[in-house]
Copies of this chain bind each other. A is one copy, B any other.
Amino acid sequence: MADTKPYVLNSREVQRATLEWLGKRGVTTRHIAELVHYLQAPYFPDLTLEECEQHVLAVLGKREVQNAVLTGIQLDILAEEGKLMPPLQDMVKHDEALYGIDEVLALSIVNVYGSIGFTNFGYIDKQKPGILVKLNDKSDGETHTFLDDIVGAIASAAASRMAHRKQEEKENGNGLPSD
């Protein structure tokens, strides 16, 4: 009887839940903005955290991104609570090296802003600046097998978005394209 009312998607609710779940798992849009700044400051010396955060929010407004965030965090929580079926439980809990579904979800985020984000995603995932250190610390009993890749992917997508916008500004903004 659960389904007597027809299902109607509420996109605002999906967006709200995405930000809420990120927050509950210890990740703010400011944390992700810091990763974008880490990636892009070498190319844009005047870059502010505020500008980075705007791009992060725009990325988080995409349904494809929201779907990946919600699905990944759900799997992390279930693994943390020991509720996945073996052997999936062990693979997610231990961030098993040959389990790559976390990277698969991450790539679906990067893809939305095109292939130029692939490199940043791999780089930040290896370097683990900022919030990524904390998400990879296994000592606190939390499981962030999906979330650390997802956060890196959102930052990479935001960096790609910024690169596209900066080019637009250069061409349109002041009539004086710099070289």
A122: chain B residues at CB < 8 Å are 118-126
Q: What 1/0 flags go to A96-139 for Cβ under 8 Å of B?
A: 11111101111110011011101111111110000000000000
Tell me which of B68, B101, B106 contacts A67 (CB under 8 A). Answer: B101
Are A98 and B2 interface neighbours, CB within 8 A? Answer: no
Interface flag for A48 (CB, 8 Å): no
Decide: A98 near B8, CB < 8 A? Known: A88-B70, A103-B115, A107-B115. Answer: no
Tell me which of B101, B106, B124, B177 contacts A105 (CB under 8 A). Answer: B101
A75 to chain B, nearest CB (A): 7
Q: A36-85: which have CB < 8 Å to B?
A: 62-64, 67-68, 70-71, 74-75, 77-78, 82, 84-85
Q: How far is the CA of A105 from the CA of B94 in the complex (A)?
A: 20
Q: How far is the CA of A155 from the CA of B17 in the complex (A)?
A: 32
A68 to chain B, nearest CB (A): 6
Q: How far is the CA of A64 from the CA of B87 in the complex (A)?
A: 14
Shortest 8 CB-CB distances between A and B: which pairs?
A122-B122, A100-B115, A64-B114, A103-B115, A111-B111, A123-B126, A6-B179, A100-B116
